[in-house]
Amino acid sequence: MILSDDELTRYARHIVLKEFGGSGQARLKAATVVIVGAGGIGSPAIQYLGAAGVGRLILVDDDSVEPSNLQRQTIFTTADTGVAKVDAAAGAVRRINPHVAVETHCLRIDRANVASLLAGADVVLDGCDNFATRFCVADAAYALGIPLVSAAVGQFEGQLATYRGWEADKPCYRCFVGEDPERAETSCAEDGVLGPVTGVVGSLAALEVLRAIAPFGDDPAGKLLLIDLLALRFRSIRLPKDPGCSACGKREPTL
């Protein structure tokens, strides 16, 4: 993947990083990332991944921009109200960086469409707002062998992890969450969330997507980052592989 003069100038602050460099930038250009959810986490993630020069972004979300989104979903403007989130976000990416190809899917991911949406992706970022979609995306990413960056927020807190559960010593999403999709979900609509909390977690999710494409620093798989922004505290805990996991343990995965 050759970088043009314009790209060499645009990405100069990446290329000068010895941990990343021109080879990392070329890997970004060659990469396809699926982003599930163009909401509070998706907004900064899409902006940073677009600006960073990921070659192809595939945006999936079935919502339209609502006035109550604008307090935290900073990729949207007041004029986007009523527009499909994926369309408004794609327009923003094209304004940020014309070198990025953006593909949009205004739909809800389900078990019938997930494999075709994820096919060929190098990384999947899940920043959606419900467990049914999270399980569906996580199971498909596991089955297809695609690294999954999973991010979640609530009120003043967040969680972030990267899953490669097909590897012998690395957990999958179900090792962590188990099998119960009916567990209580936190809802930004009901519980509220401070705007910059989504910015922090979404930006960290973008960082982890870049790390998954062009590895730098420590491998995050097998760890869970807990972000407590009431206390302004970040904590990383070990996430072991569950030998009895229904997905990556002894049983065969089901899609």
Q: Which of 172, 188, 201, 209 binds Zn ion (CB under 5 A)?
A: 172
Q: Which of 174, 198, 201, 220 binds Zn ion (CB under 5 A)?
A: 174
Q: Residues 6 or more apart from 231 whose CB is under 8 A from it?
A: none
User: For Zn ion, how many residues bind (rule: CB under 5 A)?
Assistant: 7
Q: Which is nearer to Zn ion, 66 or 167 (CB)?
A: 167
Catalytic annotation, pick one of 128, 175, 188, 245 = 188
Considering the rule CB under 5 A, would residue 84 count as an interface residue with Zn ion? no
Considering the rule CB under 5 A, would residue 175 count as an interface residue with Zn ion? yes
Considering the rule CB under 5 A, would residue 140 count as an interface residue with Zn ion? no
Q: Mind giving me the DSSP string for 32-86?
A: EEEEE--STTHHHHHHHHHHHT-SEEEEE---B--GGGTTT-TT--GGGTTSBHH
Q: With 0-12 CB in 10 A as exposed, 13-18 as middle and 19+ as buried, what is 117?
A: buried
Considering the rule CB under 5 A, would residue 248 count as an interface residue with Zn ion? yes
Considering the rule CB under 5 A, would residue 245 count as an interface residue with Zn ion? yes
Instruction: Let me know if 248 is a catalytic residue.
Output: no
Considering the rule CB under 5 A, would residue 161 count as an interface residue with Zn ion? no
Span near Zn ion by CB under 5 A; candidates 48-56, 84-92, 230-238, 242-250:
242-250
Output b/e per residue, 165-195; b: 16+ Cβ within 10 A.
bbeeebbbbbbbeeeeeeeeeeebeeeebee
Using CB under 5 A, list all residues that contact Zn ion.
165, 172, 174-175, 245, 247-248
Active site residues: 188
